[in-house]
Structure 1
């Protein structure tokens, strides 16, 4: 009995500090990998000889794999032990990072990103769980604050680091840099965290639910990624994928609703507050993440930005978010959280409207300022919305609700990225056709020919101008639509009842 109590006792001294660093660094690395590739997509696409839209599969494949693995975290920890699962997840993350960096084809890098996401998905909740075990109760609030800061800071450094590495070295190194971190964290977990290992049991897993989830999510994501290149529903393959996704999703809902130990606990959706909060979160976060993918692509493919400067322009979002996070945390205990969420999402919509006026002549600060303003609203959106959702369910359902919320948020990011990339490309084609018709009708070609340009020179110049303006117009259209999505997401939050209880820090671990 004494030995067991000692094993479960929080760590102290240098051992505690080192263990905290290992867990914080793990969370930092996993979150960093969600954004570090955003600005590197043009580099990767050019190196592998693929289109920019195919390059976004590198982002969506990681997000989908991460979303799928998160609901399995509780079962893995209970079956194999929290520390053991954490250690093997970290080793797998390092191995697949190595393989990502060594990839020479689109299929290989997508497959390795899926492996990276499957291994990395459980690491974030497990790092939070272990922090709560190694720190004393009175130290946990400060520990979670440090953990949360890594979640906020990593997206800031992701685009900057990704751009700098891609331009200065090679895109391969955005994956290779994970290797020493993964090795250090895996070694640290073995040496420092063994004494806080959790008991294991031969838990059953909802195999049918897991297979159904993999089926419909896989079919849906492949359909969204391949649809544009296969002319959507004119292709029998896309039709088949759509049918599989639809039927698989319905069967998944029926099965999970009747299963005693479901892989995804859908019963939490009986709480209206949770359902509405998660809907608002999914739509708003998906729209936000899609813009974080599209902007670097536009800056590099059309505006002549290097990956480094595209990273600088997009990273300003995180700077303002870091400043506002502690302020919003204090306001959350004094102001109606629904009002804070509504303001935060409406602010994101306002920033999207500012971007509608972007054009091909915009300078760096015209592009960077909306990113900074967006960061001011992000904490108003994330912090209170998470509290609203988790406070709407029963205390014993908090962990399940947090897993469902994380799953849907990550899936929304992947789906929104695929949809917005397709819409952006289609919109640029329409704009290109309209601009070309206008140039032909107003005598531009004849005027340039009269000035001594050859016909081939005229065609090159016109093509460059048309492409640049077409992508600018397409970007404007995406942000106009984004503004409407943000506004709708902000309004539906008022359907959430005021929560009757507060959620303690780390309650969802």
Structure 2
């Protein structure tokens, strides 16, 4: 292809097939970030590890994914857009197969790190390829189709993951990517190989990249292992924390002085980019971590099967899909800050509703907030991405989109680690407080044990064991209620960040669809 000419838009059946293939690659990636959520208790049980350790399957994927996102621009210039996209899909297929055959947790985590790393270019490249396939006047249609695919993933993921885990084996949540990926890669190569972008040798900021990997990896390992090693009472955690801090400071100094930085830190000097990126990242951390905790609680304490937990969390995407086209029409004539504020208040209301759950909660009460959460989800990504990118020159858009996505995805991994630790700590605290009431000198406790013994027809030790199980369930519920309540407070607290930005019209408005999920 002549580097100075843009290939003509695709037409007819070729356009339909190309859209399907590119969308499937996006779907596969997004699906994989949510499909494992409901399978974590099963994976942990089968591999003989705790559910907390099983959560690393999600957090390490997200951390590796975050690191590779900023490299997309450099890799595209070195390899070519189409070759990079096809290779990313094929490597995603291979890593999915490695996840499926993993015999133990370390092998599974290594495969998930590889899977997260090769998935980095899929989201930004799928958007770029689709935009290049449609006429300029149809670019909003291309982004709407992309957004629909990216939104269907969170709906299908939990339900599909639950059904596969219960009906077959957790390995199949990864094997399912193999036929989808091979089809997407084959069709994409067949249609797009003649439309390859120009390739040129550009330098890579090796020191910046190594220091980025160093601080992200050490911080993530510290957060994931902290609870098991008793946090800063452990010399290992202290060493990881110090190393993460030193690496991060070095990374900041290096990137600010490097001519071709791996991440353009100076973008944070823009008010809109700073306010928008911090707001979307904190919001996404709270949003995503709760999506991980909810199925774990339903399966661990309410007795839900994987598929049932998946079906309870699936309605999240219903309103998100229905409202996606509406958002396309609303955005040009609305202040993005107002829409984002409404989203945050909506999220706060949903989490406040959940903070009143009890151990006797029924399925209807679980589903309603999840269904309603789809409304703020639809108002969440696009306006904040428009704010982040507004006012930036077109040349800065790819770097800004890559950096904001890196921060957001990594915040999701950190948020999940912190929420898991917070839930555990609050559960232990509530358990201790409840046990204080369980004394032979407390007539209410003695009466409760006698009643249980009569009802169960067993010994006092059986009644006490039943009481302990009830106590643990109650403590976990109270601990999770604390997380829900804090989540509501955080969403209200970060609203001012949105209003620190200024309404702007610029290149970013057209890139609103780059928000991703």
User: TM-score when scaled to structure 2?
Assistant: 0.95
Deviation at 1:312, TM superposition (A): 1.0
Deviation at 1:167, TM superposition (A): 0.8
Whether the 8 Å contact between 1:325 and 1:379 is mirrored in structure 2 is yes
Residues 91-240 of structure 1 mapped to structure 2, 5 A cutoff? 91-240=90-239
Q: Assess, with a 3 A threshold, how the Cα gap between structure 1 residues 324 and 508 changes in structure 2: closer, same or farther.
A: closer
**RMSD over equivalenced CA pairs, Å:** 1.7
Does structure 2 retain, via aligned residues, the 8 Å contact 1:445–1:458? Answer: no
Corresponding residue pairs, total? 508
Match runs of 1:177-326 below 5 Å: 177-326=176-325
Partner of 2:432: 433
Match of 1:377 in 2: 376
Residue aligned with 2:348, SS: helix
Distance (whole Å) between structure 2 residues aligned to residue 216 and residue 508 of structure 1: 30
Find the partner of 1:489 among 488, 491, 494.
Answer: 494
1:448 paired residue number: 449
Instruction: Find the aligned partners of 2:125 and 2:505 in 1 and give their Cα distance.
Output: 28
Instruction: State which drifts further: 396-405 or 328-337.
Output: 328-337
**CA–CA distance in 1 between the matches of 2:147 and 2:73?**
21
- Conserved? CA contact 1:387–1:502, under 8 Å: no
CA distance in 2 between counterparts of 1:404 and 1:478 reads: 28
Q: Is the 8 A contact 1:338 1:384 kept in 2?
A: yes
Would you say the 8 A contact 1:398–1:508 is kept in 2? no
How far does residue 382 in structure 1 lie from its aligned partner after superposition?
A: 1.5
What does 1:345-494 align with in structure 2 at a 5 Å threshold? 345-440=344-439, 441-445=442-446, 447-449=448-450, 451=454, 453-494=458-499
Q: Report the alpha carbon displacement of residue 131 of structure 1 after superposing the two structures with TM.
A: 1.3
| Unpaired segments ≥5 residues, structure 2 | none
Question: What is the deviation of 1:190?
Answer: 2.1
Deviations 1:126-159 (A, max 9, x none): 1111112222223322122111110111111010
Measured after TM superposition, the shift of residue 14 of structure 1 is 2.5
Shift of 1:446: 5.8
Is 1:51 the counterpart of 2:39 in the alignment?
no
* Distance change >3 Å, CA 210–CA 365, structure 1 → 2: same
What are the superposed Cα offsets for residues 60-81 of structure 1, whole Å, 9 maximum, x if unpaired?
0110111111000011110011
CA–CA separation in structure 2 for the residues paired with 1:58 and 1:130 = 30
Distance (Å, rounded) in 1 between the aligned partners of 2:324 and 2:39: 28
SS in 2 for 1:202: coil
> Displacement of 1:282 after TM fit?
0.9
Q: CA deviation at 1:5?
A: 7.6
Say whether the 8 Å CA contact 2:391–2:507 is kept in structure 1: no
1:498 and 2:499 are equivalent in the alignment: no
2:64 maps to what in 1? 65
Q: Is the Cα contact below 8 Å between 1:8 and 1:195 reproduced in 2?
A: no
| Deviation sequence 1:471-508 (CA, Å, 0-9, x none) | 11011000111111111112221111121436354478
Q: Report the more deviating stretch, 273-282 or 220-229.
A: 273-282
* Distance change (3 Å), C-alpha of 1:280 and 1:272: same
Rounded Cα–Cα distance in structure 1 between residues aligned with 2:261 and 2:507: 27
3-state SS in 2 of match to 1:87? helix
1:326 Cα deviation after fit: 2.4
Deviations 1:314-360 (A, max 9, x none): 11111121122222332222222111111110110111111110010
Q: Under a length normalisation based on structure 1, what TM-score does the superposition of the two structures give?
A: 0.96
Once the two structures are TM-superposed, the CA of residue 9 in structure 1 deviates from its matched residue by 2.7
CA contact (8 A) 2:23 2:126 kept: yes
Give yes or no for contact 2:382–2:512 (8 Å, CA) kept in 1. no
SS at match of 1:230: coil
**Tell me, what secondary structure is at the counterpart of 2:332?**
coil
User: CA–CA distance in 1 between the matches of 2:377 and 2:6?
Assistant: 40
Higher mean alpha-carbon deviation, 344-353 vs 449-458, is at 449-458
Partner deviation per Cα, 1:51-107 (whole Å, 9 max, x = no partner): 111111000011011111100001111001111111111111000000101111110
Matched, 1:82 2:81: yes
Separation in structure 2 between the aligned mates of residue 447 and residue 212 of structure 1, nearest angstrom: 58
Deviations 1:17-74 (A, max 9, x none): 2211110111111011110000110010110011111111000011011111100001
Q: Are the structure 2 counterparts of residues 73 and 4 from structure 1 closer, same or farther at C-alpha, using a change threshold of 3 Å?
A: closer
* 1:161-183 deviation line (CA, Å, top 9, x unaligned): 00111111111100000000111
Distance 2:215 2:36 in 1: 26
Q: Is the 8 A contact 1:268 1:393 kept in 2?
A: no
Taking the aligned partners of 1:186 and 1:447, their CA distance within structure 2 comes to: 63
Please report how far the alpha carbon of residue 464 of structure 1 lies from its aligned counterpart in structure 2 after TM superposition: 1.4
Query: Which whole-Å CA distance do the structure 1 matches of 2:176 and 2:375 have between them?
Result: 30
Query: Quick check: 498-507 or 89-98, which moved more?
Result: 498-507
Which piece of structure 1 moves more, 128-137 or 73-82?
128-137
* Segment of structure 1 superposing worse, 373-382 or 414-423: 373-382
Match of 1:333, SS state, is helix
